Chains A and B, each alone.
Chain A
Amino acid sequence: MKILVCISKAPDTTSKIAFKDNNTAFDENGVQFIVNPYDEWYALVRAIELKEAQGGSVTTITVGGADNDPIIRKALAIGADDAIRVDMEATDAFQVASEIAAKAKEGGFDLVLCGKETINNNGAVVGGMLAELLDAPYIPLATKLDVSGTTAEITRDIAGGEEVLTAQLPVVISAAKGMAEQRIPNMRGIMAARSKALNVAAPAGTEASTEVKSYSLPPAKGDCTYIDAENPAELIKKLHEEAKVI
């Protein structure tokens, strides 16, 4: 089974978020990047587990510049066999999906996995677009995945319960929490990553279909005033006179 896992970088969750170029771009200065946790902990690790159990190969794919190489090599250290990096600075999800689709078609993959979303942009659309471009079924937010022969069995969380469904390969699946557990790359894996192929591919040249006008941070939190529960009159007074909401 040939598995393709879509990997992207995301800022470490402790990063300070700032914008540049008139608030149209994320300021990467001083930001520590990690593999997007949904891509790594769930999609990649489950792919590696399937390969370990059933044989086959795991290839990762990333659309981006050479600054992505450290996170790609981490994926190789965790256990992916090889990696493709489409060398372009994509600015929207359609571009990313189109570029991945072009390579996925060339590679003839049985299973394409991606995280349910990246933790920076929370777009959660690449998987769906990719499935459409590959003319394959798309099963988002999967919490469990098994493959038997050419059939994938997927469990998804739905409101108030679970849904179990099957689909014929090839299929595109987005992975949510529960599909696998984070793996710490071991030292041997890290050393082996040196000699695994990180293939840099020329982009197909898809144009972006959207343009970011601006980003903004949520408004700064104001001071919190505690009012004694025994004193509702003070609360009403403050809401009336200071907050002027009543």
Chain B
Amino acid sequence: MSTETKEKALMGGEFLIRDVRAKDVFIPEEWNEEQVMMKQTCLDFVNQEIVPLLERIEKQEEGLMPSLLEKAGELGMLGISIPEELGGMGMDFKTSMLCTEALGEAHSFSVAYGAHTGIGTLPILYYGNEEQKAKYIPKLASGEWKACYCLTEPSSGSDANSGKTKATLSEDGKHYIINGQKMWITNAGFADVFTVFAKIDDDENLSAFILTKEMEGITLNAEEKKMGIKGSSTRQVFFNNVKVPVENLLYERGKGFKIAVNILNIGRIKLAGGVMGGSKGVITYAVTYANEREQFGRPISKYGAIRNKLAQMAIKTYVVESATYRATQNIEDEINHLVEGGMDKGAATLKGIASYAPECAMLKVFGSEVLDYVADEAVQIYGGMGYSAETRVEMSYRDSRINRIFEGTNEINRMLTVDMLLKKAMKGELDLMGPAMKVANELMGIPDFSAPSDNEFERMREVIGRFKKAVLMVAGAAAQKLAMSLAKEQEVLMNIADMAIQLYAAESVVLRVEKLAEMKGLDAIKVELEIMRSFMFEASETINKSGREALMSFGEGDELRMMMLGMKRFTKMEPFNIKESRRVVAQAIIDANKYCF
């Protein structure tokens, strides 16, 4: 790909104030042959090794999950983005995202895989010293050792830094003695390596330690009884005077929270990749069922009520994919840019991802809520059978629910999104106030009555531009009116986050379809055009509603009325036949008998 014509990519959060050209975004139609083959390996693994065993996995058959992780290790799936010298494949971040997507259809295994390769392995990979990396990473990459991540405690979930687990330096200075309790620890039941967060003495901030299962004083509670992902191991872990050699301190004293936050940034966008794969899988079995199930003499996929569901499931999933890989490429570019500047690959990866932390949080929220929507509607399409524990869709429905809770609840992630954007603005990294003021002034001006362009993408870009104004108007007014108390007005923060998410999603799908049009021509992308149109309508409605809710929550008098009018203007869409639009999308997946984009 030629880089000379590529504009400087948007930095994290800049989507609010800058436009981007379609040719500068990555779209999933651009995966190369090798990446597609790697994805297929993961899909084959899921279909051949996981799906036939789902029932046994659900029952947590002794030794089964670790043996499956070992099989994944043999295929190289546990070390996709681990450097080759540490036993991995040395592939880029984007490829690891693609594999995460493929494994997103694997129910409980996805969770065990994600915990092992993500929060289990990455803290050591990115923050470990050379000895630590050499000792642990090759065995984690091969699957010989399995890993877990011990952050959450009974009294500290969302407020992770308030953990009570203590580490005390022994008198001879050779060990830390760790005492405390962790809960909701994925993979705990069979983990060999534990990354444990604890506060040293009276430190204000957490530190991180590498523990191994043979250390005396580590005990496990019984498996938690969960609503979903029942096949994954989730236990409480107790540390009772565990002697941990000082060389097992990970990174620096008091920097554990930084590790936790940065690893969670990765976890969030990875989760978006996984739930996207999950959504595709659920759509495939929903449409297969709808094509097979007959009522009143016809397959139920011939009925508009079902078609409408299938279409919306596919549209939302397509948008999640567009947005997730757009952000993934931005992160990849930033990592490469930092590496070119001389930074170590691990540090560059962390910094690259941290630069797009708002996008990671938004995608986590959006992706997990789309999967929940998709799984819920799939159950509905299955009807009574969907409520039967004999169908896979019932499992998907239960398994989906956790995604809105872990890796930071969606509420925390919504607040983080706005908080991070505003902090970037305050640090001068992101000029939100200037454009927000411009929008405020525009409200008093005369609306633009110029004729719309003949080019649909230009019209869509114009709408996206107005969506940006809508977000800036509300965020700017909220920051100005509520000032320091904004952080406490969580309802308003949720509204603003929802607007930003919809904007990012809508812009991503427009960019993808526009790029596709350039690649394939309009005739070849008729279905994708309908996906774009339908989602743009949906985004306009959500932005409008969330925006008005926010404005009504803090605005008053004439100013409120003016902003409400502005909101109407900024989210206006030309009417079109949305029923027909969705029917086109539904027909494509009904004909293909699977999610086919």
Interface residues of A (CB under 8 A from B): 14, 16, 69-70, 73-74, 77, 182, 184-188, 190-191, 193-194, 223
Contact = CB atoms under 8 A, between A and B. Distances in A.
B38 interface: yes
A186 B591 contact: no
A66 B76 CA distance: 28
A187 B33 contact: no
Interface centre among A69, A186, A187, A190 (most CB of B within 10 A): A187
B95 to A, nearest CB: 9
B329 interface: no
A190 B91 CA distance: 11
B94 to A, nearest CB: 15
Contact of B41 (A69, A70, A187, A194): A187
A227 to B, nearest CB: 15
B139 interface: no
B594 interface: yes
The B contact surface, by secondary structure, is helix
A182 B36 CA distance: 19
Interface centre among B45, B76, B591 (most CB of A within 10 A): B76
Contacts of B45: 184
A74 B33 CA distance: 10
A186 B34 contact: no
Contacts of B593: 14
Contact of B48 (A14, A73, A182): A182
The A contact surface, by secondary structure, is helix
Interface string B47-76: 010000000000000000000000000111
A191 B91 CA distance: 9
A190 B48 contact: no
A186 B74 contact: yes
B487 interface: no
Given A16-B592, A223-B297, A186 B41 contact: yes
A74 to B, nearest CB: 6
B309 to A, nearest CB: 22
Contacts of A191: 34, 89, 91
A187 B76 contact: yes
A207 to B, nearest CB: 33
B545 to A, nearest CB: 38
Contacts of A77: 37
A73 B91 CA distance: 18
12 contacts: A14-B593, A70-B33, A70-B36, A186-B75, A187-B38, A187-B75, A187-B89, A188-B89, A191-B34, A191-B89, A193-B37, A223-B297
Interface residues of B, number: 22
A184 B48 contact: yes
Contacts of B91: 187, 191
B77 interface: yes
A182 B48 CA distance: 10
Interface string B68-100: 000000111101100000000101000000000
Nearest to A34: B40
A184 B41 contact: yes
Leading 6 A-B pairs by shortest Cβ distance: A187-B76, A186-B75, A184-B44, A187-B89, A186-B76, A190-B37
Contact of A14 (B37, B44, B74, B594): B594
A187 B80 contact: yes
Contacts of A70: 33, 36-37
Nearest to B95: A187
A12 to B, nearest CB: 10
Nearest to A223: B297
Interface centre among A16, A69, A77, A191 (most CB of B within 10 A): A191
Interface string B562-597: 000000000000000000000000000001111000
Contacts of B592: 14, 16
Contacts of B44: 184
A69 B37 CA distance: 12
Nearest to A77: B37
A43 B89 CA distance: 28
Interface string B11-53: 0000000000000000000000110111001001100100000
B75 to A, nearest CB: 4
Nearest to B76: A187
Interface string B286-299: 00000000000100
A143 B41 CA distance: 26
Nearest to A74: B37
Given A186-B41, A187-B91, 15 more contacts: A14-B592, A14-B593, A70-B37, A73-B37, A182-B48, A185-B41, A187-B76, A188-B76, A188-B89, A190-B38, A190-B41, A191-B34, A191-B89, A191-B91, A193-B34
A70 B75 CA distance: 20
Interface centre among A14, A77, A190, A223 (most CB of B within 10 A): A190
Contacts of A73: 33-34, 37
A234 B222 CA distance: 62
Contacts of A185: 37, 41
Contacts of B75: 184, 186-187
Contacts of A186: 41, 74-76
A139 B308 CA distance: 54
Nearest to B75: A186
Contacts of B594: 14
A73 B38 CA distance: 12
A161 B164 CA distance: 70
A74 B74 CA distance: 18
B527 to A, nearest CB: 11
A223 to B, nearest CB: 7
Nearest to B89: A187
A79 to B, nearest CB: 13
Contacts of A188: 76, 89
B77 A187 contact: yes
Contacts of B591: 16
A14 B288 CA distance: 11
Interface centre among B33, B44, B74 (most CB of A within 10 A): B33
A217 to B, nearest CB: 15
Nearest to A185: B41
Nearest to A186: B75
B28 to A, nearest CB: 15
Nearest to A16: B591
A73 B36 CA distance: 12
A65 to B, nearest CB: 15
Nearest to B592: A16
Nearest to B36: A70
A193 to B, nearest CB: 8
A190 B80 CA distance: 12
B78 to A, nearest CB: 9
A92 B41 CA distance: 32
A40 to B, nearest CB: 11
